[in-house]
Structure 1
Amino acid sequence: MKNLFIIVFTFVSFSVFSQTDEEKAQANNPLAQITAFNLQQYYSPNLSGNSEATSSTYWLRFAKPTGRVLWRVSLPFSTYSNPETGVSTSGLGDFDLFAVYLAVSKPTLSVGIGPSVSAPTATHATLGSGKWTAGAAAVAFASLSPQFQAGGLAIWRTDVGGDDLREDVNILAFQPFAFWQVGSGVYFRSAPTWNFNLEKGTYNVPLGIGLGKVIKINKTVCNFFIEPQYSVLHHGDNQPLFQLYSALNMQF
């Protein structure tokens, strides 16, 4: 299963479908005023503190615009395995939601800000926080040219309820991204997510560069990509030292 996106990407990379330059540029826009469904995976074969441990998380994401507000819901399914202890845990993680108001919505620039919340839906304690959390999200996407797009996503949340026996939550995530279109729907990309646990003082800052392909099947714009990412700064156990970020994103 972990090689699914590699197989699909290789297959569609040799397919030719017609799509406009605008569709290619907007395929990676998190603020695109288009209904979207994404299937994304982060796979890490080695974690800090235990080189034998592995983790894999599939994210199901659905985005829907209503006027100038874009809603995005996400639900992770994760597997954590530690051969040294013989522990392997799989199940759902915490449900995630943010709604951003498009303060700026232009062909070359989109900016949104709004609330961000999560619910403790994890099926195992190691896969979630056990807390209700709330905070804010901010997103910006700039189409600097038909060939180059860039922007960033920032999310901060803290706990507002839940299991009193679980650790408090105070997290910050920042995802800078850049895309360079090279033609025929093919593009280079970099979109690592930098995670900071402000409560525990742990963090992970990866960098990566990957390859993507945008194709159009009937009226659906499909975006396949693979992006290896390496941690250049990290502190704390169970931080991914290397991970493969891959996805199929669809806009309808």
Structure 2
Amino acid sequence: MKKFFTSIAILLLSLTSLYAQDKKGPSAEELAKANNPLADLVAFNIQHYARPALNETTGGAANSTWMRFAMPTGRVLWRLSAPLETRFINNETTNFSKSGLGDIDLTAFYLGVMKPKITFGFGPSASFNTASDAALGSGKNTLGAAAVVYAIASPQFQYGGLVTWRTDIGGDPSRDGVNLLAVQPFYFWQLGKGLYFRGAPIMTFDMETGNYAVPIGLGMGKVVKLDKTVLNFFVEPQPSVIVHGAGQPTFQVYGGLNMQF
């Protein structure tokens, strides 16, 4: 956790220095697009969830680092995501630690609406049983659907939401089934010079077990432009206001670097 925050501080200082050297900076359109999950641009994101506290799990913690690649082909935006997962429990009775690849997922958004102030996409979403250890994945292949909307209310304020649902279609028959709904509202308030307030918490509802976690998020981000690449760095604490079930995060920190080319 300490290394994560140190890395964030170093990266923020570096980007701030680079921005100071770029007198022009990102345009208002680029600032608004920087957080658009449906932007018609090739993008690569590195996003990290640090979860130092898990519900009903003494000494338990988890970390996820997602590498996401997005590429538009016509009116379809493909998004491939691969997670590196860590799970550990360290208490009086249990000393457990696993790290490795989690379940890779793929979503294809058909861009049904592509207007200057609103974008809407929907399409199939799947995950694959690629985890390097049983503790790091569901043990199942899943299939479902996703829909996302992104609205530019003004140059200062943007908002939207992503809804994803998946259920299992095969995999390890000894593992529990998957029936998972995830709802992610997001909101961004531009402060000027690339700095902005943000929130993008993911609310998860496991309809197979009845477990759920509903976090809220409020963080800050910084957008800079280097040549033709827009870099978007952010950090966002997310406490869970409602949580049920063992292993659900009671608090997490979401941070990362999004790059649009």
TM class by smaller structure: over 0.9
Please, what TM-score do these two structures have when normalized by structure 1?
A: 0.98
How far the C-alpha of 1:13 sits from its partner, in A, is 2.9
- For 1:71, the equivalent position in structure 2 comes to 78
User: Which SS does the other structure have where 1:11 is aligned?
Assistant: helix
User: Which SS does the other structure have where 2:138 is aligned?
Assistant: coil
The separation in 2 between residues aligned to 1:106 and 1:10, in whole angstroms, is 35
User: Which SS does the other structure have where 1:129 is aligned?
Assistant: coil
- For 2:16, the equivalent position in structure 1 comes to 13
How far the C-alpha of 1:6 sits from its partner, in A, is 3.1
Percent of residue pairs identical: 54
Task: Read off the aligned partner of 1:6 and give its amino acid letter.
Answer: A
- For 2:246, the equivalent position in structure 1 comes to 237
Which residue, out of 174, 189, 208, partners 2:183? 174
- For 2:39, the equivalent position in structure 1 comes to 32
Q: Is the 8 A contact 1:6 1:226 kept in 2?
A: no
Please, what TM-score do these two structures have when normalized by structure 2?
A: 0.95
Count of matched residue positions in the alignment of Structure 1 and Structure 2: 252
Which residue, out of 219, 239, 242, partners 2:228? 219
Deviations 1:146-181 (A, max 9, x none): 000000000000001111111110000010000000
User: Which SS does the other structure have where 1:13 is aligned?
Assistant: helix
Which residue, out of 80, 88, 96, partners 1:87? 96
Give the 5 Å matches for 1:1-252. 1-3=3-5, 4-14=7-17, 15-16=19-20, 17=22, 18-84=25-91, 85-252=94-261
Structure 2: runs of 5+ lacking an equivalent:
none
The separation in 1 between residues aligned to 2:130 and 2:114, in whole angstroms, is 33
The separation in 2 between residues aligned to 1:138 and 1:231, in whole angstroms, is 24
The separation in 1 between residues aligned to 2:14 and 2:250, in whole angstroms, is 29
How far the C-alpha of 1:81 sits from its partner, in A, is 1.2
Task: Read off the aligned partner of 2:238 and give its amino acid letter.
Answer: Q
How far the C-alpha of 1:51 sits from its partner, in A, is 3.8
How far the C-alpha of 1:182 sits from its partner, in A, is 0.5
How far the C-alpha of 1:117 sits from its partner, in A, is 0.4
Task: Read off the aligned partner of 1:224 and give its amino acid letter.
Answer: F
How far the C-alpha of 1:227 sits from its partner, in A, is 0.2
Structure 1: runs of 5+ lacking an equivalent:
none
After TM superposition, which residue ranges in structure 1, 4 or more long, deviate above 6 angstroms? none
Root-mean-square deviation (Å): 0.9
How far the C-alpha of 1:2 sits from its partner, in A, is 1.7
The separation in 1 between residues aligned to 2:9 and 2:242, in whole angstroms, is 27
